Chain A
Amino acid sequence: MQTGTLLSYTKVWVPRADLPTPYTLGQIRLDDGVTVFAHVRELPEGVHVPMPMRLKVSPAGSPGPVFWFEPR
């Protein structure tokens, strides 16, 4: 499933190994009903949830998260 809805999110400054801060952690309901937690990028300013999202997957072998979501 490539698309879903951002239900909520938080921007994180708490340091964690291998995760440069800040990053945005979102709760996303995929269109088939499954809910996942994942990074979210390219969010506009302001609080706008629920918001339609699209799954993005990193090219093989690149550093950072394997997948994340962006607004669609």
Chain B
Amino acid sequence: MSPTQAALSRKVAVVGVGTTHQGVHPGKSDYQLGVEALRLAMADAGIENRHRIDGVLGYKFYGAGIDPIEFCKLVGMEPRVTGYLDYGTGGFTTQYAAMLIATGVCNLVACVFARNPAGAMDDFSGLPNEYDLTCGFVNAGAVAALGWTRHMARYGSTEEALGHVFVAARKHAALNPIAAFPDRVTLAEYLAAPYVLWPFRGYDICKVTAGAVALIFSRADRAGDFAKPPVYLLAVGRQQTPRMLEAGDQLLCFGMRMAAEQVYDAAGLGPADVDALFISDASTAAVIHTLENYGFCGEGDGQDFVKDGGIELGGRLPINTNGGQLGEGYLVGWLHHAELVRQLRGECGHRQVSGAEVAQYCTTGRFRQDSLSSIYVRS
């Protein structure tokens, strides 16, 4: 077990979560949405005095985002520490929050993500990059498409497998009152949709959405002081593999295997212990790569795992019960954390995984060159 992973085990708990509706928010600023989410998270935790929060994390993405100092000015807070990560997706930012608490720098950290992008609900995510100018390398969706082509060639997997992932995401979103895309889609409708990045159809790639989420982390030894039962961070695994774009096999997300080894080693658990799985599904293919590389099924067996409702509520492993980024909204992994906390508290109503005690989150970043997973538990 690495020193960092051991240091985070059961030292930190989530004590409050807040989410706005996801989709479109005409006329509102991203900061305004962030304030709404923080208010909801504070109410959820039963925090009336905002000055108890001594750490605030925002996020940046290629220069845009929530600047935590400006955000704190807006809400009248002067925490001891503010910060953000560039490429501040949910998993990486919550790891940062956990480190601030586990090292004693902060007692109570609020993490806030909000955005209101142009083209919400319609546009694909991602920005042009250096490859784009010369050969039309279309953001992270192209990396994911290249990875899936390779998966099909190596394992004989099909486009229907991606369809099953999408159908599950929309089924779950239909049960989620804040979801941006609450309409169900059948496998036949999925297969009838045109390609945009073969082998991907438009459905396979996330569209940007407007919305906000706030998460409040506490020292575990003070986590009983809040309104709701705490959800504990049990383990984090993370590994960067910066040669991913050069090594062909790496587009199959083999970097995840190192994060998997770390997180399960630190948690003392394995895939069979996970009750609900949350995958940062920037594309449908990410779900299948994650299932295989984390050992939920064998290499190349992901397409069978997702069939017949296997990843739906009531199936053998419910995945992204919130609808994920393909159904609920694309807040780069942050919303999954709100959902996993609500699942472990038993607050999810029609989409509750009965008896959920262990939830795992898995993501990649920077074109699959960074893999992270965290495991949260109810007790």
A residues engaging B (CB < 8 A)? 7-14, 16, 19, 22-23, 25, 27, 29, 35, 37-39, 47-50, 65
Cβ contact of B248, chosen from A8, A12, A65, cutoff 8 A: A8
- Asked if residues A14 and B245 are in contact (CB atoms below 8 Å), the reply is no
A50 to B150, CA, bound (A): 9
Chain B 116-151 residues near chain A, CB threshold 8 A: 124, 131-132, 134-138, 141-142, 145-147, 149-150
A25 to B138, CA, bound (A): 9
Which of B60-68, B190-198, B317-325, B329-337 lies at the binding interface? Answer: B190-198
- 16 further A-B contacts with Cβ under 8 Å, apart from A25-B135, A65-B134, are A8-B149, A10-B142, A10-B145, A10-B146, A11-B197, A12-B136, A12-B198, A14-B124, A22-B198, A25-B136, A25-B138, A25-B142, A27-B248, A29-B248, A35-B247, A48-B153
Shortest B181–chain A CB gap in Å is: 20
7 A-B residue pairs with Cβ-Cβ distance under 8 Å, sorted by A, are: A8-B153, A8-B251, A10-B146, A10-B197, A12-B197, A39-B136, A50-B248
Q: Which residue of B lies closest to A35 (CB)?
A: B246
Q: Does B199 contact A (CB under 8 A)?
A: yes
- Asked if residues A8 and B136 are in contact (CB atoms below 8 Å), the reply is no
- The range of chain B's interface size is 20 to 34
Shortest A25–chain B CB gap in Å is: 6
In the bound complex, residues from chain B placing their C-beta under 8 Å from that of A9 are 146, 149
B66-99 contact mask (Cβ, 8 Å, vs A): 1 or 0: 0000000000000000000000000000000000
- Asked if residues A39 and B135 are in contact (CB atoms below 8 Å), the reply is yes
Cβ contact of A25, chosen from B137, B195, B245, B246, cutoff 8 A: B137
Q: Does B152 contact A (CB under 8 A)?
A: yes
Shortest A48–chain B CB gap in Å is: 7
A35 to B244, CA, bound (A): 11
- Asked if residues A12 and B149 are in contact (CB atoms below 8 Å), the reply is no
Q: Which residue of B lies closest to A28 (CB)?
A: B248
In the bound complex, residues from chain B placing their C-beta under 8 Å from that of A48 are 153
A62 to B135, CA, bound (A): 16
In the bound complex, residues from chain A placing their C-beta under 8 Å from that of B137 are 25, 37
In the bound complex, residues from chain A placing their C-beta under 8 Å from that of B150 are 7-8, 49
Cβ contact of B136, chosen from A7, A19, A27, A47, cutoff 8 A: A19
- Asked if residues A47 and B153 are in contact (CB atoms below 8 Å), the reply is yes
- Asked if residues B153 and A14 are in contact (CB atoms below 8 Å), the reply is no
Cβ contact of B142, chosen from A12, A19, A29, A38, cutoff 8 A: A12
A6 to B43, CA, bound (A): 55
- Asked if residues B248 and A13 are in contact (CB atoms below 8 Å), the reply is no
In the bound complex, residues from chain B placing their C-beta under 8 Å from that of A8 are 146-147, 149-150, 153, 248, 251
- Asked if residues A23 and B136 are in contact (CB atoms below 8 Å), the reply is yes
A50 to B149, CA, bound (A): 11
Known: A11-B195, A47-B153. A65 touches B135 (CB 8 A): yes
In the bound complex, residues from chain B placing their C-beta under 8 Å from that of A39 are 135-136
Shortest B192–chain A CB gap in Å is: 16
Shortest A10–chain B CB gap in Å is: 4
A11 to B136, CA, bound (A): 11
- Asked if residues B138 and A16 are in contact (CB atoms below 8 Å), the reply is yes
Shortest A8–chain B CB gap in Å is: 4
A35 to B124, CA, bound (A): 27
In the bound complex, residues from chain B placing their C-beta under 8 Å from that of A65 are 134-135
- Asked if residues B138 and A35 are in contact (CB atoms below 8 Å), the reply is no
- Asked if residues A11 and B248 are in contact (CB atoms below 8 Å), the reply is no
Most chain B beta carbons < 10 A, residue from A12, A22, A25: A12
A11 to B194, CA, bound (A): 12
- Asked if residues B248 and A37 are in contact (CB atoms below 8 Å), the reply is no
Shortest B194–chain A CB gap in Å is: 7
A39 to B251, CA, bound (A): 18
Q: Which residue of A lies closest to B145 (CB)?
A: A10
In the bound complex, residues from chain B placing their C-beta under 8 Å from that of A12 are 136, 138, 142, 196-198
A58 to B132, CA, bound (A): 19
Known: A10-B146, A13-B194. A37 touches B131 (CB 8 A): yes
Top-6 shortest CB links A-B: A7-B248, A10-B145, A11-B198, A8-B146, A8-B150, A19-B136
Q: Which residue of A lies closest to B247 (CB)?
A: A35
